[in-house]
């Protein structure tokens, strides 16, 4: 059986025996794979640092036709995930990895999803130095990291078929009247008009500014780069995304809530 080549993001690793590890990869060509890397943690391993968490690498893998683990035979590092002292950027990368693992099934190729995750990890891993005034780059403040992560989460949800309705009512498809507060149905998957809101469970009330920010982040690819959200709206956007992911996954995400800014305005539950 010939080894197959793929471009991969390392999203999980755990030890297997004394020197080997089981690695979960999200590959562009084959989707999510779980493979055994024999001797990966030996001092002179041929895998080098290619299997570090969130690394992007080229791999050779022997695919198994059964439920057994695939066998990773080679991994060549393409990009190492490094964020310096930015805890927000580190958490953003870990959030991307968790969603790649939880939103996808094994062996289901989704190249667009790979491309979105790859672009985000590269951006998080390359913050702009304070002295760099090149207009083509962006200094990744914690607020911009949260905006990028929310943009990425919305893009990932769209690609797996769970994009929230942010413009028209998620229930009837009709228009949603403007106002200072808008009903957002977590179980319904988006904003609700006044008629459809009645009797619904798991509905939160979000501000018009929060909804406008979500619409911008979901629509324009580079909108996050110039998005300067006031702290209350920044916190509300993050709280909405955390709650939406919790309802979708059926549990509280491990990483996403850690991105909540220190001031935690959140969303207020409507009656």
What are the tens digits of pLDDT across the range 153-170? 999 999 999 999 999 999
Tokens in use for 93?
A: 């990368």
- Using one digit for the tens of pLDDT, what is the confidence trace for 26-43? 999 999 999 999 988 887
Closest by CA to 213, choosing from 139, 129, 138, 154, is 154
Set out the domains of the chain in order of their start, with CATH numbers: 4-79 (2.40.50.140), 87-128+137-269 (1.20.1440.120)
Tens of pLDDT, residue by residue over 203-243, are: 999 999 999 999 999 998 899 998 999 999 999 999 999 99
Q: What is the pTM of this model?
A: 0.90
State how far the Cα of 196 lies from the Cα of 239, in Å rounded to an integer.
23
Say if strands 70-79 and 56-62 run parallel, antiparallel, or are unpaired: antiparallel
């Amino acid at each position: 059986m010939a080894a197959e080549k793929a471009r991969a993001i390392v999203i999980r690793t755990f030890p297997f025996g004394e020197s080997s590890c089981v690695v979960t990869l999200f590959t562009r060509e084959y989707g999510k794979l779980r493979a055994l890397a024999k001797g990966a943690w030996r001092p002179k391993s041929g895998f080098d640092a290619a299997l570090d968490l969130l690394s992007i690498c080229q791999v050779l893998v022997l695919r198994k036709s059964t439920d057994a683990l695939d066998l990773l035979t080679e991994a060549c590092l393409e990009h190492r995930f490094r964020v310096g002292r930015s805890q927000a950027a580190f958490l953003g990368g870990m959030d991307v990895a968790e969603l790649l693992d939880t939103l996808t099934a094994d062996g289901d190729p989704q190249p667009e999803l790979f491309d979105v995750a790859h672009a985000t990890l590269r951006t998080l891993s390359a913050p702009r130095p304070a002295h760099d005034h090149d207009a083509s780059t962006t200094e990744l403040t914690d607020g911009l990291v949260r905006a990028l992560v929310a943009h990425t989460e919305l893009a990932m949800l769209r690609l797996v078929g769970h994009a929230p309705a942010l413009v028209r009512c998620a229930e009837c498809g009709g228009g949603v009247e403007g106002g200072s507060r808008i009903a957002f149905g977590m179980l319904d998957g988006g904003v609700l008009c006044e008629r459809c809101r009645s009797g619904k469970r798991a509905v939160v009330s979000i501000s018009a500014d929060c909804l406008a920010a979500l619409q911008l982040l979901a629509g324009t690819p580079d909108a996050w780069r110039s998005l300067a959200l006031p702290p209350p709206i920044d916190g509300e956007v993050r709280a909405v995304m955390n709650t939406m992911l919790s309802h979708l996954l059926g549990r509280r995400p491990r990483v996403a809530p850690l991105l909540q800014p220190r001031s935690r305005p959140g969303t207020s539950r409507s009656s």
